[in-house]
Amino acid sequence: MLLKSRRSLKAQPVVSGVLVAVNVIVFMAATFYKGALYDMGMLKAVDVLVKGEYGRILWAVFLHADITHLFNNMFLLFFLGAMIEKEIGHVKYALVYFLSGIGGNLLSLTAKVMTNDFSASLGASGAIFGLDGTLLAMVLFSGRKMENVTPVRVLLMIAYSLYSGFTGANIDNAAHVGGLLTGFVITALLCGLQHLKQHSRQSGEQM
């Protein structure tokens, strides 16, 4: 009974649900405190690189500009995240999500410095693009077959998402690209490690 319960829990999008809940709570708190949390957490090159407020690199992932921004990101996070979390597990999923958010914001900071951009940015989009990168790496390298998920479909989805960002206004496209690349690279490495373990296990059994 306990084993069955654990298997059932493993199949549930626990981390995705928690992330959505935390983002909603942070948005409500930021709205209630009338901008104080935004001032403390938005990604600004001067605050991070000059003042040393490195926590903004992660904290900005949980901030959203308005209800539409929040809804769009949380919709993608839950449904895309639930599928990926079921495939790779809670811990790896959380690792990819947070590192993608950080990677996206690091590339965003780099772009801001190179272009003398002093604007602030915020949102979970970089981390969510990391999930796109994860999905692409999975269909290319994991060896798993996921229903209705093919490399062509994933590439088209990514291309459309990037196009929407580059043709939109006030979009931190560097964060999107950074998150996408981070998620792809991390998942490709995880797939490579998994294949090495399987090969090593098979070699040991043959000996």
CA distance 101 to 103: 6
Neighbours of 144 (CB within 10 A): 11
Annotated catalytic residue: which of 176, 195, 199, 200? 176
Residue 199: active-site member: no
Task: Let me know if 173 is exposed, middle or buried by CB neighbors in 10 A (0-12, 13-18, 19+).
Answer: middle
With CA atoms as reference, report the closest residue to 77 among 109, 149, 64. Answer: 64
Residue 174 near residue 123 (C-beta atoms within 8 A) = no
Which of 100, 108, 121, 125 is flagged as catalytic?
125
Q: Is 90 among the residues known to form the active site?
A: no
Length of the chain: 207
Active site (catalytic) residues: 125, 176
